[in-house]
């Protein structure tokens, strides 16, 4: 949820992006490494991660809205990337609003 929240803030919280982009990207990398380490230790967790992905995304959307004070509909209801993209250390969402 925190990983997804930071990806949403990076893409949509334009008023704070310049000031916080480095911090958000650092947090994103840390969250990814933590998740990947857990998956390496327990590969059987991957199906569970897929199972809860949409639920985590919805929570992340609400958290990003609360923290940014942007309207909830600023953040798309459909995840901004696949689980593979979200966990890819080199993937960051583009800054334009597609």
Q: Which tokens belong to 49? A: 């991660």
Q: Which tokens belong to 61? A: 């959307």
List b or e across 67-77, with b for residues whose CB sees 16 or more CB atoms inside 10 angstroms: ebebeeebbee
- pLDDT at res. 97: 54
Confidence of residue 68 (pLDDT cuts 50, 70, 90): very high
Confidence of residue 95 (pLDDT cuts 50, 70, 90): confident
């Amino acid at each position: 949820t925190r990983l997804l929240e930071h990806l949403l803030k990076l893409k949509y919280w334009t008023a704070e992006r310049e000031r916080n982009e480095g911090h958000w990207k650092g947090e994103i990398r840390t969250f990814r490494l933590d998740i990947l380490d857990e998956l390496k230790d327990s590969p059987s967790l991957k199906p569970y991660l897929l199972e809860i992905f949409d639920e985590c995304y919805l929570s992340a959307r609400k958290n990003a809205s609360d923290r940014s004070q942007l309207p909830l509909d600023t953040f798309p209801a459909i995840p901004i990337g696949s689980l593979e993209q979200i966990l890819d250390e080199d993937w960051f969402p583009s800054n334009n609003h597609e």
